[in-house]
Each structure stands twice: as C-alpha cells, then as structure tokens.
Amino acid sequence: MSAGRPGEPRPLPGPKSFYLPPGGDEWRQHVSEAIRRARLVVVVAAVGSRSGRAEGTLWEYIEALRQLPPSRVVLALCGEREDYERFRAAAESYAVERAAGLRKAGQTPSPLPVLPDWPEPSRPARTTTGFPLRGVIRFTADWTAETVPFDTTAERGPTPYARWRKTERRQVTPWVAECESALPGQAVREVCSRLHWQIVTLCAGLLASLGYIVVRRWDGLPPWSQYGVLVPACYTLAMLGKISATVRATSRPKTAVRHPPSGDDRTKPEPADTTGIGLRVTEYVLRWPVPCGIGLSTMRYHRDKEGQPAPAPSGPLHRRITRKPLTAFTTCDRLPVGLVVRGRVLKTVERDAALTSRHFALRAVQRFVWSLGAVIGTAISAVITFFHTHAVPLTAGAAAIGLLVAGRSWYLHREDLAMVSRLWLRPRVPEDLAREPCVLYLRPHPDDPLPPAGPASGFPRRAGRTYSPRPSRCPASSSSPLPARLRRPCGNWPRRCACCRRPAFSSSCPRATRTATSASAARPRGRSRRVPPRCPRVSARRTARRLSPWNCHPR
C-alpha cells in the first residue's frame, strides 16, 4: 500500500493507495500506526537534489527502525549513486535531531545503523539504464547492514530485457522467498481471476465465422488483400492473448496473509491446505449490459474452514475438484457503461468422489464411443467437403476440429480406465485395522467382547470361578502384570513356559501350581484320556488335574 496525493481524481496504478490528512503533523500518527501493523517496511534509500523534500522519508526511516525488528525493515537501492550518498548523509544528520527530540519527550532513541557503500557491478562496461532495482540493504539481528546486490551485468542474454528477466528470476525471486520466511504470518494468493467462459465462447465463434468467410473467398482475393487480411487477424489474436494475460495478472498483487490463531505464540500459522478441497469460495462475475447479460470476467476469493485466506487451486487441481453453490447470485454493485457485478458463495468438493468402478467403466465406454464417432464423422465430413468445395483449407480446418474433439474424448476415456484399475487394485482395509493396525493383533481391543464361557469356547472353567483374561504375575521376572494376550491355537503354543521362560513347566512356576479346571472335565463321563505331562517334574496324574487353561498341551 502507498499514500496517495490528496485531491487526485484517480490513484496511480500500482499498490493500493490510502490518503492522509493534508497539512500539519497529523499524518505522522497514521503513518506510525501503519508502520506498526506492517509485515515489512521498504524505504527507498534515495534523496533528490532538493534536501527539503526528504524530511518525510527520513522520518519514516527512523520511525521504522524504532518500532520494528531488523528482519522487517529493508532499504531499496533505486536510482543512482549520488541519490544514495545524499540519503546516507541526510539520515545521519536527521538521526541526531530526532534523537534529541525523543530524549526531550522521555523516549529512548534507537541507534542508527551504519549503511554500506553502493554496490558495484561485476562488469561495468555492460551497465545499462532501465532496471529500477540495483539491490537491497537488509539488517541482521544486531542491526548490522548487509547489501544484497541485483547485478544485471552478471547475467547473459541477447538483449537488456532478457538480462533483466534472468536477474529477476535468479536473484530477486530467491531473496524475496528468503525474506518471506523470516516475516510473521504466511502470504498466500487467495484471488484467482479469469475471463468468463461466455465471452471466450463468443470471441471464438466470431473468429471462426470470420475465418470461414475468409477461407471461402481466399482464392478470389488478390495477393495484397490476402496479406491485408492476415495482418489484422494476427493482431487480433495477439490482443486477445494480451487481454487474457492482463486479467490473470490482476490477481497477482492481491496477496493475503495467514496469521496464527489468537493466543498462539508461534509466528507462523499452520501450512495451508494444498488439496483445494473444502474451501469456501466467494465468486464475483462482471456482466454486461444487464445482470443476466454476457459474463466478461470472474474473480474468486478462497478461504479455509477457519476463515483464513487459502491459496487458489492451481491448474492440475482443477480436474480433481468442483464447486458446489451454497447461495444464489446477487447483485453487488453497478458500474458505469452498464457493467454489473454479481456474487455468490461456493464450496469446493472432490470431483467424482461418490462414483464407483462401475460408473467409471460406463463413462469410459461412452467416451470411447464418442471418440470413435468423432473420428468417423470427421473422415466423412472431410471427404464430402473436399469433393464438393475442393477447398483444402476448409477441409483441413474441419478435420483439425474433429481430431481435437476425438483426442479430448480419448484422453478422458484413458483417465476413466485408469480410475477403474486404481479402484480395482485398491486394497480393502477393515476399518478397525485402518484405525489401529498394530494394537489389533498384539492384544485384545478394549471394545472387543469377552469370549463366552463353556466347553465350546476352549476356556473350560468350574462353576463359581470367574474368568479373567489378565495372567498372573511371575515373581521371577518382574512385579508388573504381563500384558493380556490373544488365545492361540494349541498347535502353535511354544514349548517353553510363557511366564518364566523355562524349558518346561516346573513345580516352582505359579502357572503350573495354580488350581484350574482340568481339560478332561469338559468330556462326558465314562471316557477318560491320559494327558501326557508337560513338565517332567510333575506326574501325569497331577498335570491332568491341575492343568492351567492358558498352558494346555500342544496336542
């Protein structure tokens, strides 16, 4: 933002202008408040030949040094060396006067940092005028000034403009990214401007009609008329491309800042969601000459669920998301010459989120039929057009349009087939396994029901005895209870004691000496079977009667 001239009928192009009260020192209060709220203050380090006009610039420079940390103050080196040297000298003298005034007011003045010398180009012979920025001066944590030169002579290119573009891409852009990382908040481009599809379709139809008329009468035109038609046609196409680029460029300077939530001590907020799903979009459409007229341009502002600015979806994301209208169009403003601004609220959702593999397969078949029909129709129309009119340009144009339609349908057909294969090959993971993949098989889940008691469950027990899935404690290992384990099949039980890890159960093991239900108690009377001992120190008869339900025989 910048301060505009009071009374001007129209602000100058560039940053957003705000106006200060004319006359007196009241403007300094407004500028001081703006400096305090700014993320970054850039002061042009240049003073003209008339030093009286530099008092406002010097006051802003000293005020920024007094209120902001070093990472949020930058000096821009614009102009020539003489202007910078005058700024250095004037800043030193003005700092002494300002320090005396602050001491009288009871405030502590900040020390003035020592500014470095003017940066010299690496190849002075190739120095050209025109590039506005020679470098910047940044400050470290202890207010030490450092020069970051932007040397156009270090880049190679056939023209000065090519060297300026390389300087901006290789020197200016990396420094801007580094400076942005040290500033509070996160800057995002929430605005997306485009030409409306209605005006694009209308212009394409007009150009196609003119092209058809020219092709039909091309053979009867003299050579000078042919060149006279080609030049305006090329100029019209170039102007349309320039208008489209201008509309897209209107969203670049409109940058918003994401701040951390209130009460959070962090300087950077949470990273913005780059998927583009779930955003709240405010759309404004410029129409002419009535509210329901032809759409000229579209501008969208994007916000996330918390109301913070969000980056506009990029080009690849447009095929994955769609916008669902939440409110209807309403007239927001009326401009001169019949222009009307209408707005509504949208929400971005994932495209084809509820479709299954069957839907994608049917759509793939339909698009394959469309592409095949477009190819056959193009071939038939090209043959008929050539034999009836004998106009090669007209035949080539019709064939090109048909092939474009067929290629687009074939591309969409391949995308649907890829989605079908992706859905078929996607593993179906149970919800509980996807939620807790490790806990599910290591120990019972707290929400799982206990196994039923009885012979069919594999956990026989006597009447009046309560089953507890928690095992007993082993005094030889530790005093803490062992974690509960899932019941394993008998054939997979280890040959070692699960409690004390001995080769076989002994009489000293608390599991072997615990009184429990025998495995033969669940069998009908009259049938008996001898269970072989698991521990050699215990007899077979004692083991059959005092066998623990957790340590059954491997058989």
Q: What is the pLDDT of residue 75?
A: 94
pLDDT surpasses 80 at 441: no
Q: Which letter, b or e, does each residue of 492-519 get, where b requires 16 or more Cβ atoms within 10 Å of its Cβ? A: ebeeebbbbeeeebeeebebbeeebbbb
Using pLDDT thresholds of 50, 70 and 90, give the confidence band for residue 546: very low
State the pLDDT at residue 495.
Answer: 47
| pLDDT for the residue numbered 139 | 93
Which range has the worst mean pLDDT, 59-73, 355-369, 441-455?
441-455
Q: What residue type is 206 in one-letter code?
A: L
Token pair for 206: 């007009």
Q: What is the pLDDT of residue 47?
A: 86
- Asked if residue 500 has pLDDT above 60, the reply is no
Q: Does pLDDT of 90 surpass 70?
A: yes
Q: pLDDT digits over 35-70, tens only? A: 998 889 999 998 877 656 678 888 899 999 989 999
Q: Per-residue b/e over 50-65, b at no fewer than 16 CB within 10 Å?
A: eeeebeebbbbbbbbb
Averaged over 201-210, what is the pLDDT?
Answer: 87
For residues 357 and 459, which has the higher predicted lDDT (pLDDT)?
357
As a whole number, mean pLDDT of residues 430-454 equals 53
Q: Average per-residue pLDDT in the chain?
A: 76
Question: What is residue 400's predicted lDDT score, i.e. its pLDDT?
Answer: 85
Query: How many CA atoms lie less than 13 Å away from 273 in the CB half-sphere?
Result: 15
Report the pLDDT value the prediction gives residue 133, as an integer from 0 to 100.
Answer: 87
Run of H or E including 163: helix 160-167
**Mean pLDDT for the stretch of residues 322-341:** 90
pLDDT of residue 468: 47
pLDDT of residue 10: 74
Question: What pLDDT digit, counting tens, does each position of 516-525 carry?
Answer: 334 344 444 4
Percentage of residues in the chain with pLDDT exceeding 70?
71
Q: What is the pLDDT of residue 382?
A: 81
Structure tokens at 103: 């001491």
Model confidence pLDDT, tens digit, residues 281-330: 999 999 998 888 999 999 999 898 888 888 888 766 666 788 889 999 99
Q: Measured between alpha carbons, how far is residue 250 from residues 191, 196, 294, 337 in Å?
A: 9, 14, 20, 21
Q: Tell me, what's the pLDDT at 265?
A: 63
**Which has more pLDDT, 250 or 360?**
360
Quick one: pLDDT at residue 518?
Answer: 40
Res 432: pLDDT: 53
SS3 content of the chain, % helix, strand, coil (to 5): 40, 15, 45
Q: Using CA atoms, how far apart are residues 112 and 61, in angstroms rounded to an integer?
A: 10
What does the buried/exposed string (b/e) look like for 263-288 if buried means 16 or more CB atoms within 10 Å of the residue's CB? eeeeeebeebeeebbebbbbbbbbbe
More confident site: 484 or 319:
319
Please compute the mean of the pLDDT values over residues 145-152 and round it to a whole number. 92
**Residue 333 host element (H or E):** strand 330-334
Q: pLDDT at residue 249 above 80?
A: no
Residue 99 has pLDDT above 90, yes or no: no
Whether the pLDDT of residue 331 is over 70: the answer is yes
Question: Which whole-number Å values give the CA distances from 92 to 86, 111, 115, 271, in the listed order?
Answer: 10, 10, 10, 42
- Quick check: 136 and 146 in contact, CB under 8 A? no
Summarize the confidence of residues 519-537 as an average pLDDT. Answer: 44
Domain limits of the chain? Answer: 2-190+436-442, 196-247
The number of beta carbons lying within 10 Å of the beta carbon of residue 546 is: 15
Rounded CA separation 419/353 (Å)? 11
Compute CA distances 300 → 279, 297, 318, 345, 496, whole Å: 11, 10, 14, 9, 70
